[in-house]
Structure 1
């Protein structure tokens, strides 16, 4: 074989080594409900957590049910309104929320089936809350400006808007009415939110100051390595995870179903379709990106498994709520580097935590 041919073959194998299209092999997948679409609403937090609770019911009972995302949304809008008015408008009001808000709502109002409350006036309607949120906010601002004493019917007006856009809940019978359900084996007190930030002590329980944490939910703080170790442990033990993450990076692609952090910015486009080296994520870099607003809580999803590419790199299989036409049949493959940098927090059953972590957190 001549030198020229050897050189060409060497170049071919070199290029094929460094420029490979993604070929994912799922190595762990936990049963979950079908991918659905939140459409024109900012309610990913409910879709994420509702999917998580559906998976929990499957895990504990083997029963597959379709819970209503919008039942949680409508109920939480009531709590958001009280919070906004009593804080005299000095808090955020909008469509955003967090995983623990659904747990709080479920504990207070219960969970309902999709067939019992769709959150639509007509079955064929698409979800679109843009006008509804505007009208709700207008009522709240009026209540604050005039004071509730001078606008005593603000709650009635507010509820009427919810009824008009989402439907009434008076005749909905929740399937889970108590904090502990003996039928679906759900105890809402068993769910904890873990995170990793350096501005709070490791193993502390603190309120994370992010805009959507209107309910002042608590987070348990871990080192970054232990944070990731517990995510892996939970998945390996059959527990799914509700994820709060930043998806504003250009390397989070709903189109290609990939979420990665390239080592070199010049790879920002090619890494969406080809395997490229990724950045090493340190706790310090993660903290800095959070504090400079490059990492924000702008989307919540549901981790249901793990996969690897043909080079052995690990990814998390993440269920999104943008419909099956998005990503890879509605799923996103998120690299470890992306999760390390961009995951604000995760909600998990406390039995999905490592025993050493549970002990350190006093759970």
Structure 2
């Protein structure tokens, strides 16, 4: 996920406008810092209902790799659920493999596929299935001398190489372009070890995934909701970062939150993808909701108080959700990890969300998102099929 939108402050994130996804990610975070109220935390009283164990908050740095951080955090929680010792999975190993596959697709599609850092939740599962996994200690992705991810130069180099390949200067492509492209990626992120030692035993990425991580890639499903497609069928999610053209299951809007609720109550966490550019989303204050009144119609006092305690919300319908997606007000700009449910002082439920922007906000890297926000702004969720209610799983033919 990373933003491709015509909204004024987010238009700058378009790669076609020449901005790298890493810089765009910084721009997005800095812009969201303006969506805040002073002393917001003092105005909310949250009481946890469910809080499923998860690994410490990370920072994706200056890169658009939220999809890898969120879905790998999800896999780490799956390890905990399965009774395994959690480890930090290398998010950048996953991203590195996705960049290789994305480059191949870009050339096959004559350049008509999105490049850059962005990706989808299913990329993590797909790359895990194909390439296995590495612990963070074996593959940090920091082969270019910085202490945190900073992908601008790498992505610019990689894009220039692939654009040259697509021009087909020899009149026929050779296999050498793949070697050259892979060499660019690996020179920045690091070469992949064929074998490595973990707790005294030697592994390959594939055997480490199978024997240590231990999750089955076939157990996970990706679900969305758009009324333009028949419900309880699969469709190709038409967002720019679905470069692999994967299909997702389609359910009714209210069933998105029904599925998340059921999963959390059964001990499953959920990876979430969606839009965070709304004025009702504040990273600094750690709250996301859909104000009942349009922000443009608010007076200065109302704007100032937008995050000062619980506020009334807009009624969300399937028509409203579809319209927001169709007119680019909902895009796939971010991925996070849903790990629980909490209630405010009025008894209203929010999802506990783990982010990958470091522990830098009011809630040390977590935030609270209303169910209305999820219904309105979700592009897809990823979860273990065991978390899907049996009645919905039957309609989707998930076994």
TM > 0.5 fold call: yes
Residue 124 and residue 142 in structure 1: after superposition, are their counterparts in 2 closer, same or farther (change >3 A)?
Answer: closer
Between the aligned partners of 2:204 and 2:313, the Cα distance in structure 1 is: 45
Aligned-partner SS, 1:52? helix
* Preserved CA contact (<8 Å) 2:60 2:149: yes
Residue 254 and residue 308 in structure 1: after superposition, are their counterparts in 2 closer, same or farther (change >3 A)?
Answer: same
Residue 166 and residue 22 in structure 1: after superposition, are their counterparts in 2 closer, same or farther (change >3 A)?
Answer: same
Which digits, 9 at most, give the CA deviation of each residue in 1:201-242, with x for residues without a partner? 110111111111111111111111222111100011110000
Aligned-partner SS, 2:57? coil
Pairing partner for 2:274 from 241, 245, 259: 245
Asked if 1:154 is matched to 2:189, the reply is: no
Residue 138 and residue 321 in structure 1: after superposition, are their counterparts in 2 closer, same or farther (change >3 A)?
Answer: same
Aligned-partner SS, 1:325? coil
Which digits, 9 at most, give the CA deviation of each residue in 1:282-309, with x for residues without a partner? 1111111111110000000000001110
Deviates more, 1:30-39 or 1:169-178: 169-178
Pairing partner for 1:295 from 330, 344, 349: 330
Superposed displacement of residue 177, structure 1? 1.9
Pairing partner for 1:198 from 204, 207, 227: 227
Superposed displacement of residue 247, structure 1? 0.6
Pairing partner for 1:228 from 237, 257, 261: 257
Asked if 1:275 is matched to 2:337, the reply is: no
* Preserved CA contact (<8 Å) 1:112 1:172: no
Superposed displacement of residue 160, structure 1? 2.0
Deviates more, 1:166-175 or 1:297-306: 166-175
Aligned residues: 344
Structure 1 segments of 4+ aligned residues over 4 angstroms from their partners: 172-176
* Preserved CA contact (<8 Å) 2:280 2:290: yes
Residue 215 and residue 179 in structure 1: after superposition, are their counterparts in 2 closer, same or farther (change >3 A)?
Answer: farther
* Preserved CA contact (<8 Å) 1:67 1:112: yes
Superposed displacement of residue 185, structure 1? 3.8
* Preserved CA contact (<8 Å) 1:52 1:240: yes
| Correspondence 1:155-194 to 2 at 5 A | 155-173=178-196, 177=206, 181=210, 183-194=212-223
Highest Rg: 1 or 2?
1
Q: What is residue 85 of structure 1 aligned with on the other side?
A: 107
Between the aligned partners of 1:64 and 1:124, the Cα distance in structure 2 is: 26
Residue 293 and residue 218 in structure 1: after superposition, are their counterparts in 2 closer, same or farther (change >3 A)?
Answer: same
Residue 280 and residue 297 in structure 1: after superposition, are their counterparts in 2 closer, same or farther (change >3 A)?
Answer: same
Superposed displacement of residue 176, structure 1? 5.9
Deviates more, 1:176-185 or 1:95-104: 176-185
Structure 1 segments unaligned to the other structure (5+ residues) = 1-19
* Preserved CA contact (<8 Å) 2:222 2:381: yes
Superposed displacement of residue 66, structure 1? 1.1
Q: What is residue 244 of structure 2 aligned with on the other side?
A: 215
Structure 2 segments unaligned to the other structure (5+ residues) = 1-41, 197-202
Which digits, 9 at most, give the CA deviation of each residue in 1:108-142, with x for residues without a partner? 00011001111112686221001100000000000
